[in-house]
Structure 1
Amino acid sequence: MPDLFAAIYPSMAATPAAPPLFVAVASDDELFAKQGYGLPDSWRRAGRPVELHVYEHGGHGFGFDGKPGTTSSGWAEALLGWLGPHGWLTT
């Protein structure tokens, strides 16, 4: 079982043993924007930890650096900000 899960283009459901989840998605993603937030909602229903970041602009496939000039460009820093307090960045 992994210690955590970071879903960047999510579309799946949680199990009761699911690890903590980080989700980053753009609200203008043409593939996921109209589907709602099924993945983080399923984690919440399963009583599992979830962090959700919805960026106004970035479209689909904004990648690790986000799309330059869009709000998605800061998602990697948000992931690091989530990992640190959980102790997942310690050596």
Structure 2
Amino acid sequence: MVGREGVAVAKWLNSLGFYAFVLVHRFPNSETGAQAPLDDGRRALKIMAESGLAPKGISICGLSSGGHLGAALLSEYPQVWTSPDPEMPQIEFAILGYGPISTNAAGRTIIENKPPLPPKEKQELYDVVQPDVQLRSPAPPVFIVYSNNDPVVPVTNAYRLAEGFTKSGAPVELHIFADAPHGFALDSPKELPVSKWPVMCEAWLKQNNWIE
């Protein structure tokens, strides 16, 4: 969702002092191929690195499917595809929320009798790109946030992702909220504890001296 999980998040990051860009990528289909989102993300990072707007480094923030893509951009590029942008800039840190990291992949699903995702290129993307076991090492510090009772993206993804980052040498900040809807983004009801995750993330950013 470009609005709630893209533009709104970019404005929040901008308010903290970051230049923030929203990636609007191609979706995987028979015309673009399964790797389209990953290639678009890699190209965007290259453009940002060459723009001169990020002298202190580049970081990644992704929620939901953007969480999967964000983690994919920190992973080894699959050998079954050819990247138009083989060189990647260094990533300073990542903020990843409720993404289907590997539970959509064949053989690693949690939901019983889960059917393949349409179109077949989308399923291929999730089968090929499983960031929790493909992260480049050393991985950057990461802030991870998930819902324990998410009906769409099983919380298992959070544990897999945290383990993957830990094995790749990254400091991990992991927050799992017992009761929160899928797609909580930045605008959850104030009475829900999950509404405090942006404040927790800001504290993490300050602790690591990325913001003042």
Question: Is 1:22 aligned with 2:143?
Answer: yes
**Richer in helix (by share):** 2
Question: Is 1:60 aligned with 2:186?
Answer: no
Calculate the aligned-residue CA RMSD, in Å. 1.6
Aligned mate of 1:6, from 95, 101, 107 = 95
Q: Please, which runs of 5 or more residues in structure 2 have no aligned partner? A: 1-89, 102-130
Aligned mate of 1:40, from 162, 168, 179 = 162
The answer to which structure, 1 or 2, has the higher relative contact order (CA under 8 A, 6+ apart) is 1
Taking the aligned partners of 2:158 and 2:201, their CA distance within structure 1 comes to 21
1:36 positional shift = 5.6
Could you tell me the percent identity over the aligned residues? 27
Which has the higher Rg, Structure 1 or Structure 2?
2
Taking the aligned partners of 2:155 and 2:181, their CA distance within structure 1 comes to 9
Q: Which contiguous aligned blocks of 4+ residues in structure 1 show a shift greater than 3 angstroms?
A: none
**2:186–2:198 CA contact under 8 A, matched in 1:** yes
Taking the aligned partners of 1:21 and 1:41, their CA distance within structure 2 comes to 12
Paired residue total: 89
